[in-house]
Amino acid sequence: MNKNNTNGFTLIEIMVSSALFVLVLLIVTSTYSVGQRIYRQSINDNELWQNARVVLDRTSREIRQAKKILTALPATNNNSPSEIIFEDGHDTVKISYIRYYLNNTDVYRETYHYYFDSEPTTYVPWNSVDNFGNTPIKAIEENYIVGQFFSNLNFWGSNKLVNIEATLEKNSRIINLMTAVFGRNL
């Protein structure tokens, strides 16, 4: 009778199969980890691009329709303001103003109008003066965030052309954008 058992695995076979299992497991987990990192990065990038698109599209559309830009815009990007104020060109019934501005990392859209105490329902231009030499009162209608993750927002231009430059940043990802808008009603 043969006492050698040939049905089992040798120690070397077990070690080789364990090493191969660990190697396959490391490859799978590292591939999964890379895939998750790329997925999270694409989510962040999409969020940055979405924020940039919303702010630049909306600002561009409203500047295009503006009656008058009140912000003194320099001809170049040097020392350009991070806000723009203009007279709304969409509402022909009343005189109202729109302001886009950067506050920390958020871009806000503020709408407001001016009036005199004697006639609060009559909107007047911002630079009006009543019979007594009084300037009008500013009444804010809306003020809300339209975009997040902005580290820079600049406006500059000349004649009817307004340039907008934006930098967005999230989780060490940076996106720089620039557009130019031609004001039709300016």
Q: Are 170 and 150 in contact (CB under 8 A)?
A: no
Residue 115: left (phi > 0), alpha (psi -120 to 50), or beta? beta
CA triplet 125, 109, 91: central angle to 5 degrees? 45
The two three-digit tokens of residue 79, written as one number: 């020392």
Number of Cβ atoms within 10 Å of the Cβ of 9:
10
User: pLDDT tens digits for the chain (186 residues)?
Assistant: 555 656 788 889 899 999 999 999 999 999 999 889 888 888 888 999 999 999 999 999 999 999 999 999 999 998 899 999 999 988 778 899 999 999 999 999 999 999 999 999 999 999 999 999 999 999 999 999 999 999 999 999 988 899 999 999 998 899 999 999 998 887
Tell if the pTM clears 0.85, that is, is over it: no
Q: How far is CA 97 from the centre of its chain?
A: 21
